[in-house]
Amino acid sequence: MDGPNRGTNRNQEQTAKDETMDRQPIVQKVYLVGAGPGDPELLTVRALRLLQAADVLVYDNLVSPAILDCVRPEAQRVFVGKRAGRHTLPQEEINALLVELGQAGGVVVRLKGGDPYIFGRGGEEAEALAAAGIPFAVVPGITAACGMAASQGIPLTHRDHAQSCLFVTGHLKDGALLLDWEALARPRQTVVFYMGVSTLPTICRELVAHGLPADTPAAVVRNATLPDAERLVGTLASLPALAAAAELAPPALLVVGEVAALAERLAP
């Protein structure tokens, strides 16, 4: 709307935005922050503010370089990333590090790919901080499954194809893959496996053995939301060979269910 009140209206809108941004002040404590699926534009406003205020940043392998560029240059950076079979620090030492940094004071940001509480081991870190009496807060992030689905044309709960959606780890604590296969092999649901690249053949074989048709659509997506994203779409029968031929490496997500086939039509 044009007119004499236009500038006033804009000022009022900006004031309202500023007041909203200041509702959660940044104080000295440990923040367990979700970095989202990789694209820095998918950071929450809260996460971005914390990155720009952090005195110390403790970050994972799954945090993209573009997101690290958002961190203020003066911040101390501590890399504690994990890759398959290679851990910079065991989780127990990461927990102890966060307690030590929290006791020292300042704004400590523990930055984790996706969401801290969805296969991010944020719960263990929160327990350690709580046991030590360290003030902390959790800032949610877009979990990898949701970011992947939105960017790759896979509507996880399309009502014509899925009545439920399950997020499952494809790599258990002791290295075994002892899952409730009968529950995972039910029809008309979507199952997203995190950390399942190395166990992809086993997952596909077990799902078929427990009742899913071999021609059930399945897709594996690597580096979703990033410029170098890769997507392979096939079936439970064909996908392991497709992934092997493409030499697909982590990080990647496996999607099983009818919605996986929609990627060919709906992907941007």
**pLDDT one digit per residue (tens) for the chain, 268 residues:** 455 555 555 555 555 555 555 567 899 999 999 999 999 999 999 999 999 999 999 999 989 999 999 999 999 999 998 765 555 789 999 999 999 999 999 999 999 999 999 999 999 999 999 999 999 999 999 999 999 999 999 999 999 999 999 999 987 656 668 899 999 999 999 999 998 898 999 999 999 999 999 999 999 999 999 999 999 999 999 999 999 999 999 889 999 999 999 999 999 8
**Would you please indicate which residues are annotated as catalytic (active-site) residues?**
60, 82
Numbered ranges of CATH 3.30.950.10 in the chain = 145-266
From the options 3.10.310.10, 3.30.950.10, 3.20.20.105, 3.40.50.300, give the CATH code of 145-266: 3.30.950.10
CATH architecture for segment(s) 24-142: 3-Layer(aba) Sandwich (3.40)
Rounded-to-integer distance, Cα 208 and Cα 203, Å: 9
Q: Are 75 and 56 in contact (CB under 8 A)?
A: yes
pTM, 2 dp: 0.86
Q: Which residue in 166, 163, 30 sits closest to 101, CA to CA?
A: 30
Q: Are strands 165-169 and 190-194 parallel, antiparallel or unpaired?
A: parallel
Numbered ranges of CATH 3.40.1010.10 in the chain = 24-142
Q: For residue 225, what are the CA distances in angstroms to 88, 94, 148, 216, 258?
A: 26, 28, 6, 25, 22
Q: Residue 158 contacts by C-beta under 8 Å, 6 or more apart in sequence?
A: 258, 259, 262
Rounded-to-integer distance, Cα 43 and Cα 33, Å: 10
